Amino acid sequence: MTRNLRLATASLMAALTAVSAYITLPIGPVPITMQTCFVLISGAVLGSRWGAGSQIVYVCLGLAGMPVFAGGMSGPGVVISPTFGYLAGFVLGAFLTGWYVERFTRSRILHLVAGMLIGQAAIFGCGLLYLYGYFNLYAGVETTWSAALAVGLFPFIPFGLVKLALAVSVTRVLSQYIRLESP
């Protein structure tokens, strides 16, 4: 993949992540969105560095004031919201998905699923750590880990599996047209 094609695809992934933030199911302090689907696709299609780079651009656009986060949120104040850990996890999730997929062929469904599960785990890990800290340290709401899991993980699992299946399908189609080279 040429540098210009990588740049265009990374820009597209950042834009699709932004658009997918508006496909929302508000269920609590952390809404269910389609964003993770595009985060995983960006890592699998672009690789670790460019996939993470596309998500860094997305997060920076939102922090700079563009209304690209779920619910149209934006600005530096998002850093002190319960969802910021998930946003930070997008960068790590795309990186780890890309890192894993770079080591194997993208045509193998098993490798795509494994890489995307690793990326999804990174997103949830960052999100849950931040959510727990947000409630206990900033919001002053004493929260247990089981309560954080009940709010920030368990409701997302069924939707996450559907988004993962969609991301694998889209990546398999895209990999026929876009060839990932070594970084």
Q: Find how far residue 143's CA is from the centre of its chain.
A: 25
Count Cα neighbours of 174 within 13 Å in the Cβ-side half-sphere. 20
Domain 3-24+31-174 has CATH 3.40.50.300: no
Task: With cut-offs at 50, 70 and 90, classify the pLDDT of residue 5.
Answer: confident
Q: What pLDDT, in 10s, does the model give residues 33-81?
A: 999 999 999 999 999 999 999 999 999 999 999 999 998 999 999 999 9
| Token representation of residue 100 | 């894993």
Q: So what's the pLDDT on residue 105? A: 65
Q: Please give the model's pTM, rounded to 2 decimal places.
A: 0.92
